[in-house]
């Protein structure tokens, strides 16, 4: 019996020839990561163990959620992470002008790569499946033990085969793909399962598309999301990933518990209505205008250069609606700098946007874009739970950069073709 991509990575890191769903295993880790919210409690638990870190090159700490510090408490959180990183001489510590959103900078800097096994004290650690790795979120105690031992336990997940076919339309991006999938299977449709993306349609997806899709595997309940290693992956990782890596591919007789078919050619721009990522509707099917107060372009889901390019292309020569606040947050310093070189930031500013330093900020209701009661926001972030971005009576509509930019111009949820 063959194995799929996730099973192969887990088997290798457990030192086994074969694993199967439901099996409990202990694996050696390639990378362990946390942020300014999750690292401090992990550090407290780690210190109880009384051991040094297992490898100062295999731990990444990125204070990105409330940074630059918005208040004294956030400053204290960052200080505990900073002090720990200095004490243990961690190589992959990023702060201030070197910081970016963790799930943007780790792939960007080649810290994660094909065939690698990564855990992080952040649910969207599953992002790195885009580069053919197995990555998943864990709790703070598991992270503390991992920092000391370099190991973690897993239950091998069942896998869903998401089979992609067709050609990606011009105004469709990875956010439309993953929101469509979550709308099909539900927010618990992949509970503790691996989402493995296969089929000829994979070649239609850019690395930005894949990072967006893998990032939101958790929003379907997934343990992880993973893509095959192909020319798009090879082009992305070459020159970035410095360490030797071993890509994986599913065996022809790999087993899946379910197959979901998605024809990219049939996709339309979608939004996820409050208060679940699975509450998706095609923009074209919205009957009554939905007036909005704010747009957020950025986050670990859609804060990459291609996302900036899409939004800038729509906003160029246009103005943000007078009743809308539009906040643009590049996902890393590199994205910020490249967007500046290419004129995207000037386009955003001329259109009436606020451009921020890289940060998670409004995505989790941290700062810079908190919503008041009754306000609505179209956001390229990954969650729209009640109270996620501010008041419990506010509303967040999830969308990709095409829809977000068009909505910012028209002051209501809009499809990109409405402003062309």
- In a shared domain, residues 401 and 285: yes
The total domain count for the chain is: 2
Q: Which residue has the tokens 């990782």?
A: 237
- Per-residue pLDDT, 420: 81
Q: Which of 264, 286, 310 is the last residue of a domain?
A: 264
C-alpha dihedral sign at 307, 308, 313, 317? positive
- In a shared domain, residues 254 and 286: no
Average pLDDT over residues 290-297: 97
pLDDT above 90 (res 83): yes
- Per-residue pLDDT, 95: 86
Average pLDDT over residues 93-103: 88
Backbone phi and psi for residue 180, each to the nearest 5 degrees, phi listed first = -65, -45
- Helix crossing, 174-185 with 207-215: angle to 10°? 30
- Helix crossing, 333-341 with 305-315: angle to 10°? 40
Tokens of 303: 């804060």
- In a shared domain, residues 30 and 172: yes
CATH number at residue 363: 3.30.499.10
C-alpha dihedral sign at 166, 169, 174, 179? negative
d(CA 354, CA 345): 10
- Per-residue pLDDT, 67: 86
Contact indicator for 417, 397 with CB cutoff of 8 Å: no
- In a shared domain, residues 357 and 212: no
- Per-residue pLDDT, 96: 73
Cα–Cα–Cα angle for 41, 211, 37, rounded to 5 degrees:
15
Backbone phi and psi for residue 290, each to the nearest 5 degrees, phi listed first = -110, 100
Q: Which of 264, 289, 319 is the last residue of a domain?
A: 264
Tokens of 267: 């996709």
- In a shared domain, residues 179 and 226: yes
pLDDT digits (tens, 9 = 90+) for 360-397: 889 888 888 999 999 999 999 999 998 899 999 999 99
- In a shared domain, residues 236 and 293: no
- In a shared domain, residues 258 and 320: no
Give the closest residue to 101 by CA, choosing from 82, 81, 77, 127. Answer: 127
Q: Which of 205, 238, 264 is the last residue of a domain?
A: 264
- In a shared domain, residues 83 and 182: yes
Query: Containing domain of residue 206, as a range?
Result: 5-264
- In a shared domain, residues 254 and 283: no
- Per-residue pLDDT, 68: 87
- Per-residue pLDDT, 98: 83
- In a shared domain, residues 255 and 392: no
Average pLDDT over residues 147-170: 97
- In a shared domain, residues 289 and 390: yes
pLDDT digits (tens, 9 = 90+) for 336-349: 999 999 999 999 99
Average pLDDT over residues 152-170: 97
Tell which phi-psi region holds residue 298, choosing left (phi > 0), alpha (psi between -120 and 50) or beta.
Answer: left
Query: Considering the chain, what is the average pLDDT of its residues?
Result: 95
Average pLDDT over residues 41-53: 95
- In a shared domain, residues 325 and 220: no
Residue 73 confidence class, pLDDT cut points 50, 70, 90: very high
Cα 36 → chain centroid: 17
């Amino acid at each position: 019996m063959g194995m799929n991509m996730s099973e192969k990575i887990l088997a290798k890191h457990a030192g086994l020839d074969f694993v199967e769903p439901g099996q409990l295993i202990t694996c050696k880790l390639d990378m362990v990561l946390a942020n300014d919210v999750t690292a401090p409690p992990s550090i407290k638990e780690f210190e109880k163990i009384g051991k040094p870190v297992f490898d100062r090159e295999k731990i990444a700490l990125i204070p990105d959620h409330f940074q630059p510090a918005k208040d004294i408490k956030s400053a204290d959180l960052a200080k505990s992470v900073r002090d720990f990183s200095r004490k243990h001489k961690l190589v992959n510590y990023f702060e201030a002008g070197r910081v970016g959103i963790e799930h943007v900078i780790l792939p960007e800097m080649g810290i994660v790569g094909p065939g690698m096994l990564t855990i992080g004290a952040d649910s969207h650690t599953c992002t790195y499946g885009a580069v053919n790795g197995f990555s998943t979120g864990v709790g703070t105690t598991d992270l503390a033990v991992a920092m000391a031992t370099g190991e973690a336990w897993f239950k091998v997940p069942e896998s869903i085969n998401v089979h992609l076919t067709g050609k990606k339309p011009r105004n469709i991006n990875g956010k439309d793909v993953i929101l469509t999938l979550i709308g099909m299977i539900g927010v618990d449709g992949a509970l503790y399962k691996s989402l493995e993306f296969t089929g000829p349609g994979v070649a239609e997806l850019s690395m930005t598309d894949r990072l967006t899709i893998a990032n939101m595997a958790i929003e379907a309940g997934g343990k992880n999301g993973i893509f095959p290693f192909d020319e798009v992956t090879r082009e992305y990782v070459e020159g970035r990933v410095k360490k030797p890596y071993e890509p994986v591919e599913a065996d022809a007789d790999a087993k899946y518990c379910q197959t979901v078919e998605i024809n990219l050619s049939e996709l339309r721009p979608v939004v996820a209505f409050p208060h679940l990522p699975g509450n998706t509707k095609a923009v074209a099917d919205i009957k009554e205008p939905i007036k909005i107060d704010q747009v957020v372009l950025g986050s670990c889901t859609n804060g990459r250069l291609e996302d900036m390019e899409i939004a800038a292309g729509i906003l160029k020569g246009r103005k943000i609606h007078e009743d809308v606040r539009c906040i643009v947050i590049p996902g890393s310093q590199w994205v910020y700098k490249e967007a500046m070189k290419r004129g995207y930031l000037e386009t955003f500013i001329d259109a009436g946007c606020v451009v921020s330093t890289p940060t998670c900020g409004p995505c989790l209701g941290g700062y810079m874009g908190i919503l008041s009661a009754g306000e609505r926001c179209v956001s390229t972030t990954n969650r729209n739970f009640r109270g996620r971005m501010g008041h419990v009576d506010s509303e967040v509509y999830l969308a990709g950069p095409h829809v977000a930019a068009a909505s910012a111009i028209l002051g209501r949820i809009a499809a990109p073709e409405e402003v062309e």
